[in-house]
Amino acid sequence: MPGEKEFLQLLNEHQKIIHKVCHMYAPADAAKEDLFQEVTLQAWKAFNSFKGNSKFSTWLYRVALNTAITFYRKSKRNPETVLTESIPDTEEENNQTQEEQLQAMYLAIAELSDIDKALVMLYLDDYNYQEMGDILGISANNVGVKINRLKTKLKQGTQKHYQL
């Protein structure tokens, strides 16, 4: 039976996975911290069920995504008010930076469904279609179809947000 020391070591080695998931699903820093703690707690509770049939990182992704989706759905029931920044003028629009393009991409990703967000995250982490399918419980072919559709959707969404 795996112990606390082994869990902490594996968690420390793979905590970037949790941070990525938290960044994708939690809008504010405080919510990210809460989600990180919740994922860690759920991973610890489920650690005895980890049999080593898959990589720990794959298992942790699955736990983190399931926890984040549940956490995200709960937070949608109690939405918080978010103040937006002012709309840039024409001169600022012409001088948009890579940071603004990146922000536009994050906004486009935020509009995706929970599964689509997870696919984007796994794709950006260079998981292959089979691994993504295993984590999300869908076929590798379905992953391929979804990824191709997502590329188009994100391109359009990024352009929309970038032009604002």
Q: What letter does residue 82 receive in the DSSP assignment?
A: -
pLDDT of the chain, 164 residues: tens digit per residue: 468 899 999 999 999 999 888 888 887 788 888 899 999 999 999 998 888 888 899 899 989 988 888 877 766 555 444 444 444 444 444 444 667 777 777 788 888 888 888 888 888 888 899 988 888 888 999 999 999 999 888 888 877 766 65
User: Which of 101-136 are b and which e, b meaning 16 or more Cβ less than 10 Å from the residue's Cβ?
Assistant: eeebbeebbeebebebbbbbbbbeeebebebbbbbb
The owner of tokens 């993504």 is 132
Q: Which fold has domain 85-164?
A: Arc Repressor Mutant, subunit A (1.10.10)
Query: How many residues are given for the chain?
Result: 164
- The C-alpha angle with vertex 107 and arms to 102 and 108, in degrees rounded to 5, equals 95
How is the chain split into domains, by residue range?
A: 1-83, 85-164
**CATH of 1-83 given 1.10.1370.10, 3.40.50.300, 3.40.50.620, 1.10.1740.10:** 1.10.1740.10
